[in-house]
């Protein structure tokens, strides 16, 4: 049986008997219309999974990262891509020889449709717990972002996820011997979270970082410099920049692989992923983007816009 077909049948087996959520397969894994999401098709291009280091693997699509951290006691999955990324991610996990049913915990970078859209389907297949920070958990449960999100009004809804557990930013979450640390890196969204963990192979340990988006992307009517709905946006960005600039970081993966040149680094071989300056460089580029956005908003105010 083709792996993708087996994933589809597994999804059907889990989804159809469950009437409590009254959601069918199409509702959880349907694609957003190309006419409304011009980037979705390229983001969702299939990607062969590969090992980042030791027990940590890239299982996402070519344009959207998803990370699997494995342990005999259960696995942790970071992000779920688009709703229609879920079958691809599940197939990638199977391709690596792991059982999606062994995913014990699903975590998220931020609650936009391109990183959280596939979580509901993956959760339904795996039975995993889903945990999020206090700003993100209600969005995951509702399936809709609130007016404090800079992109409010232009975001697609996502399939809702029941019973999301809430952690405090800074907490360490554990499954078996796995420990992943949450870091508040908000600004792009109010609940943006970066994840870090240490992976050890024999006597060599590396610090891996899954960094959340740090770009000031917004709806046309949102202003970072004086938003009443999200008044701490600039302070949140600064806190995130400082966190990324100072945290141990041997291998950096970002929510969109292109934002941290993952494919260029991977082309050099597994050792090419290692760059202890990558998080600092990522933060520096993000800081420049935010400074430019602030200049644009300030200039607009001065011109009476």
- Asked which of 31-35, 62-66, 189-193 is least confident by mean pLDDT, the reply is 31-35
Give pLDDT, residue 303: 58
The C-alpha atoms of residue 56 and residue 200 are separated, in whole angstroms, by 10
b (16+ CB within 10 A) / e for 91-124: bbbbebebebebbbbbbbbbbbbbbbbbbbbbbb
Domain residues of the chain, as ranges?
47-302
The C-alpha atoms of residue 44 and residue 38 are separated, in whole angstroms, by 11
Q: What is the pLDDT of residues 150-191, one digit of tens each?
A: 999 999 999 999 999 999 999 999 999 999 999 999 999 999
Q: Long-range contacts: 225-228, Cβ < 8 Å, 24+?
A: 225/294, 225/297, 225/298, 225/301, 227/150
How would residue 300 be classed by pLDDT, with cut points 50, 70 and 90? confident
Give pLDDT, residue 305: 55
Task: Please state, for a pLDDT cut of 70, what percent of the chain lies above it.
Answer: 90
Q: What is the pLDDT of residues 87-117, one digit of tens each?
A: 999 999 999 999 999 999 999 999 999 999 9
The number of beta carbons lying within 10 Å of the beta carbon of residue 17 is 8
Residue 41 has pLDDT above 80, yes or no: yes
What average pLDDT does the segment 210-231 reach? 97
The C-alpha atoms of residue 210 and residue 193 are separated, in whole angstroms, by 9
Whole-prediction pTM? 0.92
Q: What is the pLDDT of residues 111-141, one digit of tens each?
A: 999 999 999 999 999 999 999 999 999 999 9
Angle in degrees, CA 158, 163, 164, rounded to 5 = 65
Residue holding tokens 């589809």?
8
Give pLDDT, residue 304: 55
Task: Please state, for a pLDDT cut of 90, what percent of the chain lies above it.
Answer: 89
- Rounded to the nearest 5°, which phi and psi values hold at 193? -135, 135
CATH code for 47-302? Answer: 3.60.15.10
Which among 188, 198, 217, 210 has a CA at the least distance from the CA of 260?
A: 210
User: What tokens does 11 get?
Assistant: 């999804």
Residue 3 has pLDDT above 90, yes or no: no
How would residue 205 be classed by pLDDT, with cut points 50, 70 and 90? very high
Give pLDDT, residue 27: 75
The C-alpha atoms of residue 68 and residue 100 are separated, in whole angstroms, by 10
What average pLDDT does the segment 272-295 reach? 98
Do residues 128 and 104 make contact, with C-beta atoms less than 8 angstroms apart?
A: yes
The number of beta carbons lying within 10 Å of the beta carbon of residue 83 is 28
The number of beta carbons lying within 10 Å of the beta carbon of residue 156 is 18
Q: Is 27 exposed, middle or buried (0-12, 13-18, 19+ CB in 10 A)?
A: middle
Residue 16 has pLDDT above 60, yes or no: no
Residue 284 has pLDDT above 70, yes or no: yes
Residue 4 has pLDDT above 70, yes or no: no
The number of beta carbons lying within 10 Å of the beta carbon of residue 10 is 18
Do residues 189 and 255 make contact, with C-beta atoms less than 8 angstroms apart?
A: no
Residue 215 has pLDDT above 50, yes or no: yes
Residue ranges of alpha helices (H) inside 204-258 are 233-246
> DSSP labels for 62-120?
SSS--EEE--TT-EEEE--BSGGGHHHHHHHHHHTT--GGGEEEEE-S--SHHHHTTHH
What average pLDDT does the segment 235-252 reach? 98
Give pLDDT, residue 301: 65
């Amino acid at each position: 049986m083709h792996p993708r077909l087996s994933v589809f049948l597994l999804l059907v087996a889990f989804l159809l008997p469950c009437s409590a959520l009254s959601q069918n397969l199409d509702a959880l894994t349907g694609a957003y219309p190309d006419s409304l999401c011009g980037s979705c098709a390229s983001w969702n291009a299939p990607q062969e999974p590969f090992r980042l280091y030791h027990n940590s693997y890239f299982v996402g699509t070519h344009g959207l990262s998803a990370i699997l951290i494995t342990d005999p006691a259960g696995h942790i999955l970071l992000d779920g891509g688009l709703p229609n990324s879920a079958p691809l991610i599940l197939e990638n996990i199977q391709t690596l020889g792991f059982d999606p049913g062994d995913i014990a915990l699903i975590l998220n970078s931020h609650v936009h449709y391109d990183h959280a859209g596939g979580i509901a389907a993956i959760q339904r297949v795996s039975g995993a717990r889903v945990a999020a920070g206090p700003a993100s958990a209600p969005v995951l449960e509702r399936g809709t972002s609130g007016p404090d999100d800079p992109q409010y009004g232009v975001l697609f809804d996502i399939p809702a996820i029941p019973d999301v557990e809430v952690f405090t930013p800074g907490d360490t979450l554990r499954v078996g011997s796995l420990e992943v640390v949450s870091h508040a890196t908000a600004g792009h969204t109010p609940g943006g979270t970066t994840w870090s963990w240490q992976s050890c192979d024999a006597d060599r340990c590396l610090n891996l970082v899954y960094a959340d988006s740090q770009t000031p992307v917004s709806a046309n009517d949102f202003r970072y410099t004086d938003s009443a709905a999200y008044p701490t946006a600039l302070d949140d960005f600064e806190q995130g920049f400082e966190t990324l600039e100072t945290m141990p970081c041997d291998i950096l993966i970002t929510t969109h692989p292109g934002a941290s040149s993952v494919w260029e680094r991977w082309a050099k071989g597994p050792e090419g992923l290692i760059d202890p300056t990558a998080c600092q460089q990522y933060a520096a580029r993000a800081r420049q983007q935010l400074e430019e956005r602030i200049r644009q908003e300030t200039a607009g105010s001065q011109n009476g816009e």
